[in-house]
Amino acid sequence: METIKLRDEYIKLGQALKAAGLVGSGVEAKEVIIDGLVKVNGKTELQRGKKLYAGDIVNFEGNEIKIEK
């Protein structure tokens, strides 16, 4: 499980995928999110700009990202 520490109150989903190294660019992040391949807290998320807060869990291709304060 990858952990991302928040610098601000939240991080956007596309930024989190990039920060975790799961996608190479914002365009790639947008594509995998729109294709329904990303889940946030167990639910498919289709918004690249979805705000993630401490405690949120992101799943993508068998990888898990935990958002922490």
d(CA 64, CA 42): 11
Q: In the structure encoding, which two tokens stand for residue 15, read together?
A: 């930024």
Helix (H) or strand (E) run with residue 51 in it:
strand 51-52
pLDDT in tens, 58-68: 999 999 999 99
Q: Is 33 exposed, middle or buried (0-12, 13-18, 19+ CB in 10 A)?
A: buried
The pLDDT of 23-40, averaged and rounded, is: 96
Q: Per the structure, how many domains does the chain have?
A: 1
Contact 50, 65 (CB under 8 A): no
Assign residue 58 the CATH number of its domain.
3.10.290.10
Q: Beta 11-12 vs 51-52: how paired, if at all? A: antiparallel
Residue 64: domain span? 2-68
Q: How high is the mean pLDDT of the chain?
A: 96
